Structure 1
Amino acid sequence: MVTLISLLTFIAFYLLYGTSKKMASVGVFGLEKWTGEHKKSAQLASLALMILSLGLSCFYWGLGSGTFSFLILLMTVASLVILLAPLRLLNYRFLGILLLCAVFFETFLF
């Protein structure tokens, strides 16, 4: 569940990052072209994913802890996206390995 919340938060923030005028268009995921053409739709989809992620977080951890955990997760994801996207380190391979490690740790360690 934590991995799903993290993934939804990452996708939501990356959609919002893609609508920014300051974003250096990397074009790794294919979302960049769509977000550039459909800014309002991308912002609404991002907002919906953020609300879904916040709701899942509050359902999983409770209202206070879920909100706090969501904000910490959002700050962490936002920092990583802003730092790693211009360096072109965010690609399918990196995110796939990160997702597999997260699922493995969540399944077998927690």
Structure 2
Amino acid sequence: MVTLISFLTFVALYLLYSTSRKMAAVGELGIEKWTGENKKIAQIASMALMIFSLGLSCFYWGLGSGTFTFFIILMTVASLVILLAPLRLLNYRLLGVLFLCSILFETLLF
């Protein structure tokens, strides 16, 4: 569940970051072209994913702890996206390995 919440937060934040005018559309993940053409739809989808992720977080940890944990995940993911996207390090291979390791650690350790 934590992996799903983190992944949804990442997707929402990356969609929102892709609609920014300051982002150079490199096309590493393939959604940059679509977000450039459909900014309003991408922003609405991003906010919907963030609200859904916040709802899942509040459902999983409770209202206070879930909101606090969501904002911690949001700050962490935002820092990583803002640092790694301009360096072109966010690609399918890195995200896949990170996602699989996260699922593996979540199921084995928790």
Normalising by structure 1, what TM-score? 0.99
The residue type equivalent to 1:79 in the other structure is S
Partner residue of 2:6? 6
Distance 1:57 1:91 in 2: 26
Partner residue of 1:95? 95
The residue type equivalent to 1:11 in the other structure is V
Cα deviation for residue 24 of structure 1 reads 1.5
Partner residue of 1:48? 48
Cα deviation for residue 25 of structure 1 reads 1.2
Structure 1's unaligned 5+ residue stretches are: none
The residue type equivalent to 1:57 in the other structure is S
Distance 2:87 2:30 in 1: 17
The residue type equivalent to 2:55 in the other structure is G
Q: Deviations over 1:27-60 (max 9, x none)?
A: 0111100000000000000000000000000000
- How high is the sequence identity, in percent, across the aligned residues? 78
Paired residues, what number? 110
Partner residue of 2:37? 37
The residue type equivalent to 2:79 in the other structure is S
Normalising by structure 2, what TM-score? 0.99
Distance 1:26 1:17 in 2: 13
Partner residue of 1:60? 60
Deviating more after overlay: 6-15 vs 25-34: 25-34
- Which portions of structure 1, spanning 4 or more consecutive aligned residues, are displaced by more than 6 angstroms? none
Deviating more after overlay: 99-108 vs 23-32: 23-32
Cα deviation for residue 77 of structure 1 reads 0.3
Measured on the aligned residues, the alpha-carbon RMSD in Å equals 0.4
